[in-house]
C-alpha cells in the first residue's frame, strides 16, 4: 500500500476545504483567550482530517512498530526465494535510518537498544549487501557481542536464524503440532493463548516439526561471543520453580519427538494446516496482522504448496499491502493496519469538535463502518458458541477476530452521526451491544478479543518470550464498553454496574488506571474517567477526585502530559516523559469529564496543544503512545496525534453532553 508521509493530506472529500469556519458550532462564552486558541486549533485539525479521508469513507494513519517487521519480511523472501534487489535496497534504507548512534536498534523512539531487534536488523542489512566491516555494521556487531551474542536473544529471533542454519533447531524449545488436538478445557490448548499468539503458534508448530534449513548465504560468527561454542547449554532453573518445571517438560517433548508416532505427527500437521487455511482472510492475510501471515506462508510452503497456489499467492500479495513506500525509495512494513480504529476515533473527534452530525464526511464514514460489521462467527465463538455475531475488527480484513474495543468505539461513533438510515444504524448498534455484553468475562470486565483468556500457563512456556500471549481484561477496554453501554441507556444494567465495580477496584493508589493498549497510566485514566462519569458516577466521587488530583500532579511544566514506555517496567517513568499531543489529549479528556473545564490544568493543556500545532493542523509526535504488548511491542499510531487532541479540544469548547453528541435525550 502506498501511503503519504506524516503531515501531508491524502485523498480528501470534495469541497470540504476551509469548510470548518462556517460549519463548526460556536463555543460557549467564557475563558475567552483560551477559547480563541482552542477554536483556531480545532478548526485547523478538522480541516487536516477532512482532507485525509479516503474516498471510500475511511481514515488510516501509518502504524510504526520496529524494524523486526522489515527484517523478517526480507528473511521470509530469502527463505521463499523471492527476494529482489529493489525490495531489499528499499528495506535496507529504512532499517539504516532507524539505527541509533551506538549501533543498536530500539523497539520505540527514544528507547534503549534491544538485543533481538538489533540482531535481526543486522542480519537483514547483511542480507541486503551491507559490508560487515562498515562502521554502522561493526558498531552493531560489537554491541551484540557485549550483550552476550545470539544466545541471549529471544526464541523467535533464534527460530529465524535456525531457518538458515545459523542456530541449531535442537537447541530451541519444542512446539509439537499435537497441541492442535488439546480440548478447550485442557491446559495449554491453543485457545488458552491470545488470538495473536495462537495464530502465530499454530503455523510455527508445523515449521518446528519440519525443522527446515535454507542454505545460509553467509556466516554470523561475528555475532557470537565464542564462535567455536555458539550454543552453550542453558542454565537449569530449580525444579520447584515454574521455569524449572517447564524446562523439564520441554526436554520431555524433545524426547517425544524421537520416539513418538510418525503417523500421529503427520495427522497433527495436517490438522494444523487445515486450521491455518480455514482462517485465511478474503484478502489473503491471516488475522489482519503480519506475523501470523509470515509463519503461515512458511508452514504451507513446507507442506508442498507452490508459490502460485491460490492460498500462497493471495498470502504473498497481502503482505505487499503492509508496505509503506516513501518516495519509492524507502520501504517500511506495518505490523498491521488500523482503518476501523482510526475511522471511528476520527469520527468521534470530528463530531465532538462540532462538525454537523449530517456532514457528508461523517455520513460517508458511517456507511463504511456499517459495511465493516462482522456478522459471522470467528474464533471467539469457541468460548461463546451461542452468541450472535456483531462486532468490528481493527483492520480492513479480519473477520475471524473482531475485538471488543473497536466494537465499542464504532458504536459510540455511529451514535454521533446523523445517518439518513437510522434504522440500519440502530440494528447495527443493537448487534454490537449484544455481542459485547456476551463477551463479558466472569469478573465483570472485558479483554480485547476473547472471554476469560486468563490462564497463567502460556506465559511460562519457554518459547513465549516475545511478549504478552494472553488477553486478560483491561481497564481501558472495559471503560470503552461501559461508555458505550451508558450511551445506549444501559448504565443501570447489572452487567454495567458489575463492570463499574471492577473498574473502581482496579484504580491504583495514586488515583490512576493502568493502560493495557496505550501508554500507559495516562491512557488508562483518560479512558476510565469519561466512562465512569458517562455511566452516572458524580464528578465528586472519591475515585474521580483522586484521578483529577493525580493528573494535575503529573502535568509537565510546559502544560502538556507525557509518559514513556518504560513506565511498564519502571515505576519512576509513570506519567514521566516528553509532552505529546495524544497523551495531553487523554489527560484533558479525563479532566473535562470530571468537570474541570475552568481549571488551570485544563487551560495550560489546551494552550500547549495550540502552541505546538503546526500551521497545517498536524502535531509532530515521534514518540510511541500505543501498546501492542506492554514494553515488548510498542506502536506509534500516526493519527493518535490528531484524533485525541481534537476530541479534547471539542469537549473543551462544546462540553460532553450525551444529547448534543447523539441527538437524543440525555
Residues classed as catalytic: 405
Mark 161-191 as b/e (b = at least 16 C-beta within 10 Å): bbbbebbebeebbbbbbbbbeeeeeeeebbb
DSSP letter for each residue of 512-577: ----SSBSSHHHHHHHHHHHHHHTT--TTSHHHHHHHHHHHHT--TTS-----GGGGT-GGGTT-S
* Euclidean distance between the first and the last CA atom of the chain, given in angstroms as a whole number: 43
Residue 128 grid cell: 541486503
DSSP letter for each residue of 131-193: -TTSHHHHHHHHHHHHTT-GGGS-HHHHHHHHTTTSS-GGGS----GGGGGS-TTSTT-GGGS
CA-based nearest residue to 446, from 390, 523, 486, 502? 502
Sequence-distant (≥ 6) Cβ neighbours of residue 600 within 8 angstroms: none
- For residue 330, report the phi and psi dihedrals to the nearest 5 degrees: -125, 135
Residue 590 grid cell: 479525563
Residue 125 grid cell: 542489512
Question: 336 in helix, strand or coil?
Answer: strand
CA-based nearest residue to 578, from 529, 519, 528, 530? 519
Query: Cα separation of 654 and 416, whole Å?
Result: 14
DSSP letter for each residue of 238-269: PTTSHHHHHHHHHHHHHHHHHHS-HHHHHHHH
Sign of the Cα pseudo-torsion (375, 380, 386, 390, in order): negative
Sequence-distant (≥ 6) Cβ neighbours of residue 15 within 8 angstroms: none
Q: Specify whether the CB–CB gap between 524 and 516 falls below 8 A.
A: yes
Query: Cα separation of 492 and 658, whole Å?
Result: 16
Exposed / middle / buried, residue 281 (Cβ in 10 Å: 0-12, 13-18, 19+) = buried
Q: Cell 473477520 appears where?
A: 399
Exposed / middle / buried, residue 160 (Cβ in 10 Å: 0-12, 13-18, 19+) = buried
Amino acid at each position: 500500500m502506498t501511503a503519504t508521509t506524516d503531515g501531508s493530506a491524502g485523498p480528501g472529500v470534495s469541497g470540504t476545504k476551509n469548510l470548518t469556519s462556517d460549519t463548526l458550532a460556536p463555543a460557549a462564552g467564557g475563558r475567552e483567550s483560551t477559547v480563541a486558541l482552542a477554536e483556531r486549533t480545532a478548526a485547523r485539525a478538522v480541516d487536516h482530517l477532512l482532507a485525509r479521508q479516503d474516498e471510500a469513507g475511511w481514515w488510516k494513519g501509518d502504524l510504526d512498530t520496529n524494524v523486526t517487521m522489515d527484517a523478517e519480511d526480507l528473511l521470509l523472501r530469502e527463505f521463499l526465494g523471492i527476494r529482489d534487489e529493489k525490495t531489499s535496497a528499499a528495506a535496507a534504507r529504512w532499517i539504516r535510518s532507524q539505527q541509533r548512534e551506538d549501533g543498536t536498534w530500539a523497539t520505540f523512539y527514544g528507547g534503549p537498544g534491544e538485543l533481538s531487534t538489533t540482531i535481526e536488523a543486522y542480519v537483514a542489512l547483511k542480507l541486503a549487501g551491507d559490508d560487515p566491516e562498515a562502521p554502522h555494521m561493526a558498531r552493531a556487531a560489537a554491541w551484540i557481542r557485549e550483550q552476550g551474542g545470539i544466545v541471549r536473544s529471544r526464541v523467535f529471533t533464534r527460530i529465524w536464524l535456525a531457518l538458515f542454519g545459523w542456530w541449531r533447531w535442537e537447541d530451541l524449545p519444542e512446539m509439537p503440532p499435537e497441541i492442535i488436538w488439546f480440548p478447550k478445557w485442557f491446559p495449554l490448548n491453543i485457545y488458552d493463548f491470545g488470538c495473536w499468539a495462537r495464530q502465530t503458534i499454530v503455523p510455527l508448530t508445523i515449521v518446528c516439526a519440519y525443522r527446515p534449513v535454507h542454505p545460509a548465504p553467509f556466516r554470523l560468527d561475528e555475532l557470537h561471543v565464542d564462535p567455536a561454542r555458539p550454543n552453550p547449554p542453558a542454565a537449569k532453573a530449580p525444579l520447584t520453580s515454574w521455569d524449572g518445571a517447564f524446562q523439564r517438560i520441554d526436554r520431555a517433548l524433545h524426547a517425544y519427538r524421537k520416539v513418538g508416532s510418525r503417523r500421529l505427527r503427520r495427522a497433527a500437521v495436517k490438522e494444523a494446516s487445515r486450521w491455518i487455511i480455514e482462517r485465511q482472510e478474503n484478502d489473503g492475510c491471516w488475522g489482519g496482522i503480519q506475523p501470523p501471515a509470515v509463519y503461515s506462508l512458511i508452514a504451507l510452503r513446507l507442506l508442498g504448496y507452490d508459490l502460485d497456489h491460490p492460498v500462497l499467492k493471495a498470502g504473498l500479495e497481502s503482505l505487499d499491502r503492509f508496505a509503506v513506500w516513501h518516495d519509492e525509495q524507502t520501504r517500511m512494513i506495518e505490523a498491521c493496519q488500523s482503518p476501523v480504529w482510526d475511522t471511528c476515533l476520527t469520527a468521534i473527534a470530528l463530531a465532538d469538535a462540532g462538525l454537523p452530525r449530517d456532514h457528508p464526511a461523517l455520513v460517508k464514514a458511517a456507511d463504511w463502518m456499517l459495511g465493516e460489521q462482522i456478522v459471522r462467527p470467528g474464533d471467539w465463538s469457541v468460548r461463546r458458541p451461542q452468541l450472535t455475531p456483531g462486532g468490528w475488527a481493527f483492520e480492513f480484513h479480519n473477520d475471524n477476530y473482531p475485538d471488543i474495543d473497536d466494537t465499542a468505539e464504532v458504536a459510540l461513533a455511529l451514535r454521533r452521526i446523523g445517518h439518513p438510515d437510522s434504522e440500519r444504524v440502530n440494528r447495527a448498534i443493537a448487534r454490537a451491544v449484544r455481542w459485547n455484553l456476551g463477551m463479558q468475562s466472569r469478573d465483570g470486565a472485558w479483554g480485547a478479543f476473547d472471554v476469560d483468556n486468563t490462564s497463567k500457563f502460556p506465559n511460562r512456556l519457554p518459547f513465549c518470550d516475545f511478549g504478552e500471549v494472553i488477553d486478560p481484561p483491561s481497564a481501558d477496554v472495559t471503560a470503552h464498553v461501559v461508555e458505550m453501554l451508558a450511551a445506549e441507556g444501559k448504565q443501570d444494567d447489572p452487567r454495567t454496574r458489575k463492570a463499574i465495580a471492577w473498574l473502581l477496584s482496579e484504580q491504583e493508589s495514586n488515583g490512576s488506571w493502568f493502560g493495557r493498549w496505550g501508554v500507559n497510566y495516562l491512557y488508562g485514566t483518560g479512558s476510565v474517567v469519561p466512562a465512569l462519569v458517562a455511566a452516572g458516577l458524580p464528578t465528586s466521587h472519591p475515585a474521580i477526585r483522586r484521578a483529577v488530583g493525580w493528573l494535575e500532579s503529573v502535568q509537565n511544566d510546559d502544560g502538556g502530559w507525557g509518559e514513556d514506555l518504560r513506565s511498564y517496567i519502571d515505576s519512576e517513568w509513570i506519567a514521566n516523559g516528553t509532552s505529546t499531543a495524544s497523551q495531553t489529549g487523554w489527560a484533558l479528556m479525563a479532566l473535562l469529564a470530571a468537570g474541570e473545564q475552568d481549571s488551570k490544568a485544563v487551560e495550560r493543556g489546551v494552550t500547549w496543544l495550540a502552541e505546538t500545532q503546526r500551521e497545517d493542523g498536524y502535531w509532530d509526535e515521534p514518540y510511541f503512545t500505543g501498546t501492542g504488548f506492554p514494553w515488548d511491542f510498542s506502536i506509534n499510531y500516526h493519527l493518535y496525534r490528531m484524533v485525541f487532541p481534537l476530541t479534547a479540544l471539542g469537549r473543551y469548547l462544546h462540553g460532553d453532553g450525551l444529547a448534543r453528541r447523539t441527538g437524543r435525550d440525555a
